[in-house]
A and B are shown apart, each in its own frame.
Chain A
Amino acid sequence: MNWTKAILNLDRRIIFSIVALVVAWPLISPLALPVVATPEVEAIFQGMDALPAGSHVLISADFDPASKPELQPMLDAVLQHCFAKGIKPTIMTLWPGGPALIQGSVERAAKQFNKVNGTDFVFLGYKPGNAAVMRGMVGGVQNTYANDHYNTPTSGIPIFQEVRKFADYDYFIEIAAGATVEPWLAYAVEPTKVPMGVSCTAVSAAQYYAFVQGKQIVGLAAGMKGSAEYEFLVRGSYSDALTSAGVPAGAATKGMDAQSLVHIFIVLSIIVANLAYFIERKRGPQRRSA
């Protein structure tokens, strides 16, 4: 009848189709928009970069396939950073859906950088019981994980001759899709004062800015954007190492184009909807109530 009414009562499926188009287009032909690192992500990167080679970093990758696009690039970038710098990561997960995904990331990065399982990195795998596991890690890694993901007894893994408990780690990276950040803070990080960097899904990021401000966590990488920024920082500092290891361009950086366009689309659609709403309201109250 008139365009304002049509817009205000737009079928959801039309919006869905436009979103699908806007996401698909830049994935097919990338725009290569520049990525700039925010201070929160740079802080995580610098914290890790300041560690000498041979330091130990604990990475708790607490996510599963649902948040793979947002968080797996972060795990990849952090692992590349560790390996390029000669830092020895220990990787674990508290999510049952995680191990298969994380194993892929770890083995890929290790292969690219020719790292040896047990001496250059450890993948501990999944352990149920969130807070209990965190408390256990503070008490001692070997008491919590008797075996690593590949069923090797942790007592025989060389890395655990150097690190025995949570406090022995020089840095802690938490990659969280759910509510594991606060328990880690309360049970492990606060008592031991190991610096902690957090990567989380964009939906939950708002919650953690308070912790950055309170200096309880070093920095925060939120969602795919945060991962893209970390990828950008690692590539900026270690481009030679990454190139010689044959690491392809980061997945998150590729996704940023799509995210840019979708955001722009949503902002535009909000503006259009509001325009229509105002015009419709001007036309008279009796119509609005109808």
Chain B
Amino acid sequence: MSFITGDAAKQRLIPLLLLGALLLLPLAGHGQEAAPPEQGEPAAAGDASAPGTAAEAPPPLELEPLSSPPAAASVSSAAVEDVPNDNGQALGVSFDWAEPAAEGVTVSVELKPDSAILEEFKLSDAEQARLDSAREKLKSDLGSLIADRDAKALEVAAADEARTAAKNVITQTKDYAGLAELERAYWKAKSEMDSLQDRIDGVQNRFAARGGRKLLEKQRKYEYLSAALAAEWLPTDIAGVPAAEVDSRGAHAPLYGREPDNAEQPWLMVSQILAPLPEALAAQAEELHSSYGEDLAPGIPFPLKNGQQYQVRLAFSGPEGSSPALVDAGPGTPRQSFFKSTLASHFIIATLYALIILSAIMLARRNPNLFIRRIAGLEAVDEAIGRATEMGKPVLYLNGMDALSELSTLSAINILGRVSRRIADFDSDLLVPCRDPVVFSVAQEVVKQGYAEQGRPDAFRASNIYFVTDDQFSYTASVCAIMIRERPAANFFMGYYYAESLLLAETGASTGAIQIAGTDSPNQLPFFITTCDYTLIGEELYAASAYLSREPLLLGSLKGQDVGKALMMLLILLQTILFVAQFATGNAAGEPWDWLVKMVEPL
């Protein structure tokens, strides 16, 4: 189901980042404006003096020494920055030191959320009833299991200690019988404990299956959060950060999609609040453990909610003798961005390249006489099939080792479609053992269609296309056995291969078959080249379907590819020249190509 953005394609798009940023050059015009334009609200985001929430509330600046001792730190300004971010679960907080922070000063960020965030964790009456009955059942099922297990665990620990102690002195005591006794005692206790644990796990799994665990988690979240909300200011994941380790805004450049202004300013990113274990629950901890097997977490983290307003303050605590300083940073709302600004160049180049290919296809529709260079491996397809027919031997075709979602496998299937038509014409047998069940069913359909289109549906034998196993080397063994038993006259290895490539191709070579391979796996190319008669290298595999069909629209896309490739070569050359120029002049600052170099540098 994943085509261009499929798993493989996505990862393989990454190198295009390089090309992408380069292609931005003509679009950007000037270096100063070279930043990707898709940033949500760049003006508000980058400027510390005008934070995003300035309109709602001007950042108040209050130092609140709680008592007479000197404050831990002195801070001149603090502001919340709601830079749009990928998941909408983070807030930035910036501030300035009024005077250098003393040794031992730490910074924490505290939030006051709206109590509305509790709503989503509240259990309905029906849910509460379900949870209660599930827990009742859990309690009765568990009985004394937990207590027994805990007692056994103590026993196991004691037995382990005893046998370890005995082992340490065994060279002196030589009491091997005694040690064996201790070992037996340990393993007996251990296996008893394990079987108790197995029973507990079984009960807990039944509890989870009844939906109890999910509901319980929800309820606990509610309890933790409501208790924490009563205390107003909540701790966050930014707690006790030493002054020297405070981030700078520049360190979060990806968030801005470019190097932000005022990059040196201290800047902290909060992404979750932490609700500590409420006292009321802590009091029941023992009972919850022994009756329900539940161990309470010391705190539960809650990610910030997109679009929810939070009051933010900074808390500085300092060395001995100073009082904590609290600085209000005003309200802030985490916001979600709708475009990955870091991928802007990626997006532009991908779009541009797609347009080039589509226009090449359009052009091909108008002018269908396209030249395409000769590919020896594909010219040999007819020869190979013809030979098989003469010898009365089958043709073996492999689709590679990957799943259908990989483009190399799809290409192999496309080639199979073309090859099967020729085979139907020549009237020889086609064997397609498959490694992937999905590939198997698609291959069967494709070959059937190929035979039908040549008017030979009767010659199609479904049993010749079959699934073998998805285990790499079992599959290899099986295919090698087919080669040795059936002695096919022609072997096709198309698609992606791993370490088995040589095993397949060398076995094929030993049977004297004509072998044509095509793979985009650079590692396996040498093996195919040394053992096969013809090898399609890399992109030739993808061009093969177009080449064999001679269809203008498909050939057009090859032309588009060539344009894209030429463009890429040009850009690589340009980058190399720029790099050398920069190297030769020592420092490129102030040079006319300075802005170009700046674009290229991060790559």
Direct contact of A and B (CB under 8 A): yes
Distance in Å: Cβ of A141 to nearest Cβ of chain B: 13
**Interface contact B522-A182, CB-CB below 8 Å:** no
A187 at interface (Cβ–Cβ under 8 A)?
yes
Q: Which residues of A contact B10 (CB under 8 A)?
A: 131, 186
For B328-339 the 0/1 string (1 means CB < 8 A from A) is 000000000000
Q: Which residues of B contact A67 (CB under 8 A)?
A: 499
**If A155-B297, A156-B295 touch, does A182 touch B11 (CB 8 Å cutoff)?**
yes
**Interface contact B472-A66, CB-CB below 8 Å:** yes
**Interface contact A206-B523, CB-CB below 8 Å:** yes
Q: Which residues of B contact A130 (CB under 8 A)?
A: 7
Q: Which residues of A contact B522 (CB under 8 A)?
A: 206-207
A190 at interface (Cβ–Cβ under 8 A)?
yes
Distance in Å: Cβ of A157 to nearest Cβ of chain B: 11
Q: Which listed residue, A66, A131, A151, A155, touches B7 by the CB 8 Å rule? A: A131
Q: Count A interface residues, CB 8 Å.
A: 22
A12 at interface (Cβ–Cβ under 8 A)?
yes
Which chain A residue lies CB-closest to B198? A151
Q: Which of B268-306 contact A (CB under 8 A)?
A: 295, 297
Q: Which listed residue, B472, B473, B499, touches A203 by the CB 8 Å rule? A: B499
User: How far is B510's CA from A110's CA once the two chains are assembled, in angstroms?
Assistant: 47
User: How far is B507's CA from A12's CA once the two chains are assembled, in angstroms?
Assistant: 11
**Interface contact B472-A186, CB-CB below 8 Å:** no
Question: On chain B, which size bracket covers the interface?
Answer: 10 to 19
User: How far is B7's CA from A187's CA once the two chains are assembled, in angstroms?
Assistant: 10
**Interface contact B14-A183, CB-CB below 8 Å:** no
Distance in Å: Cβ of B405 to nearest Cβ of chain A: 10
User: How far is B12's CA from A131's CA once the two chains are assembled, in angstroms?
Assistant: 13
Q: Which residues of A contact B523 (CB under 8 A)?
A: 203-204, 206-207
Q: Which residues of B contact A93 (CB under 8 A)?
A: none
Q: Which residues of A contact B148 (CB under 8 A)?
A: none
B64 at interface (Cβ–Cβ under 8 A)?
no
**Interface contact B11-A178, CB-CB below 8 Å:** no
Q: Which residues of B contact A66 (CB under 8 A)?
A: 472-473, 499
Q: Which residues of B contact A253 (CB under 8 A)?
A: none
User: How far is B420's CA from A69's CA once the two chains are assembled, in angstroms?
Assistant: 41
Q: Which residues of B contact A97 (CB under 8 A)?
A: 471
User: How far is B11's CA from A179's CA once the two chains are assembled, in angstroms?
Assistant: 11
User: How far is B523's CA from A66's CA once the two chains are assembled, in angstroms?
Assistant: 18
Distance in Å: Cβ of B446 to nearest Cβ of chain A: 25
Distance in Å: Cβ of A234 to nearest Cβ of chain B: 26
Q: Which residues of A contact B524 (CB under 8 A)?
A: 203
Q: Which listed residue, B201, B472, B498, touches A151 by the CB 8 Å rule? A: B201
User: How far is B471's CA from A182's CA once the two chains are assembled, in angstroms?
Assistant: 22
Q: Which residues of A contact B201 (CB under 8 A)?
A: 151
A201 at interface (Cβ–Cβ under 8 A)?
yes
Q: Which residues of A contact B473 (CB under 8 A)?
A: 66
Q: Which of A136-187 contact B (CB under 8 A)?
A: 151, 155-156, 178-179, 182-183, 185-187
Q: Which residues of B contact A131 (CB under 8 A)?
A: 7, 10-11
Q: Which of A57-104 contact B (CB under 8 A)?
A: 66-67, 97
User: How far is B510's CA from A155's CA once the two chains are assembled, in angstroms?
Assistant: 56
**Interface contact A183-B472, CB-CB below 8 Å:** no
User: How far is B295's CA from A130's CA once the two chains are assembled, in angstroms?
Assistant: 32
User: How far is B502's CA from A203's CA once the two chains are assembled, in angstroms?
Assistant: 11
Which chain A residue lies CB-closest to B18? A214
For B442-478 the 0/1 string (1 means CB < 8 A from A) is 0000000000000000000000000000011100000
Distance in Å: Cβ of A140 to nearest Cβ of chain B: 10
**Interface contact A187-B11, CB-CB below 8 Å:** yes
For B115-139 the 0/1 string (1 means CB < 8 A from A) is 0000000000000000000000000
Distance in Å: Cβ of B454 to nearest Cβ of chain A: 36
**Interface contact A201-B11, CB-CB below 8 Å:** no
Q: Which residues of B contact A151 (CB under 8 A)?
A: 201
Q: Which residues of B contact A206 (CB under 8 A)?
A: 522-523
Q: Which of B476-499 contact A (CB under 8 A)?
A: 496, 498-499
Q: Which residues of A contact B499 (CB under 8 A)?
A: 66-67, 201, 203-204
Top 7 A-B pairs ranked by shortest CB distance?
Answer: A186-B11, A131-B7, A204-B523, A203-B499, A186-B14, A207-B523, A182-B11
Q: List 10 A-B contacts (CB under 8 A).
A: A66-B499, A67-B499, A131-B10, A178-B498, A183-B7, A185-B14, A190-B14, A201-B499, A203-B499, A204-B498
Apart from A66-B472, A206-B522, list 13 A-B contacts with CB within 8 A: A12-B510, A97-B471, A151-B201, A156-B295, A183-B7, A183-B11, A185-B11, A186-B10, A186-B11, A201-B499, A203-B523, A204-B499, A204-B523
